[in-house]
Structure 1
Amino acid sequence: MAEGPKTSMPARRKARKRALDVLFEADLRDRPPTDVLTDYVARLDRPLPGHLDYAIGLVNGVAAHLDRIDELIASYAEGWTIDRMPVVDRNLARIAVYELLYVDEIDDAVAITEAVELARQMSTDDSPRFLNGLIGRIAEYASR
């Protein structure tokens, strides 16, 4: 069966994309993610999409654990500092690491695959391979 239009994207992928939008904006504007999230939700048309709760949970979770998440990313990003990473990659990694560490119902492989797929759609040609390796190393650490 052929893949449908982007609007048929699974709900959690849509939620991750929305969380990425918020975290990307917060990162670029150097604002707290929770403040950007409040503004973002206020701009959305009503009724709010069903997947928004998961997106809100991702943004709030990343914000609450940002220091630990960034510490892990910096430790496992071979040859990269967190500040040198493309903004999209840095925030996709943050979402995936949050899911690896704090969202029990998401399998590690799903967190990795989703970050890689969004990187394929939204970032550089090298980003999927980079994120796959980075998040894979963190998943190995987290499963010990």
Structure 2
Amino acid sequence: MTTQFNQRRECRSAAFQYLYAWSVNQPANLAGDLVLFFEHLEQPRDYYAFAEELIHGTIEHAKELDEHIKGLAHNWEFDRIARIDLAILRLAMFEMLHRKDIPPVVSINEAIDLSKQYSSADSKRFINGILDRMKDKLGRDSRKPSNE
């Protein structure tokens, strides 16, 4: 269990890093860019299969995720959200909305941990607030995976 937990945490970190870079400079060829990205990581590419699922899903649903973020970021202009925080929010929100096998509180906790590691001290409260509002709108148990 711990091994899978650690691997998923490493995958989320890798996915976040890629999504941050993607938000700054979107490549013309996503597949080729991912090959280059995964070549520079510690483990072989197949180790990061979960990261790749998260990357593809988040990018595919980016517009939808951004609309949710805009609606939940009370008193905050979307364009003022730091790109690091936006990458974390998109990743966690993709999990919460499209990965029913992951309990929403896990996605929130992982997002807060990413913000502690990569963003400013104030970011964790901002990220937690937005994701907590999203969790309340999901209509499912936030501590359990969903079988839907």
Q: Structure 1 length as normaliser, TM-score?
A: 0.84
Q: For 1:110-140, what per-residue CA distance to the aligned partner results, in whole angstroms no more than 9, with x for missing partners? A: 0000000110111001011110110110111
For the 8 Å contact 1:19–1:55, the answer to whether it is kept is yes
SS across alignment from 2:108: helix
1:49-72 per-residue CA deviation (whole Å, 9 max, x = no partner) reads 62x000000000001111111100
Q: Which runs of 5+ in 1 are unaligned?
A: 1-8
Q: Deviations over 1:6-45 (max 9, x none)?
A: xxx8111111110111111111114369354243124446
Q: Residue 86 of structure 1 is aligned with which of 79, 82, 97? A: 82
Q: Is the 8 A contact 1:33 1:59 kept in 2?
A: no
TM-score, normalising length: structure 2: 0.82
C-alpha separation between the residues in 1 aligned to 2:85 and 2:29? 16
Aligned to 1:140: 136
Report how many residues are paired: 135
**Cα separation, partners in 2 of 1:58 and 1:33, compared to 1, 3 Å:** farther
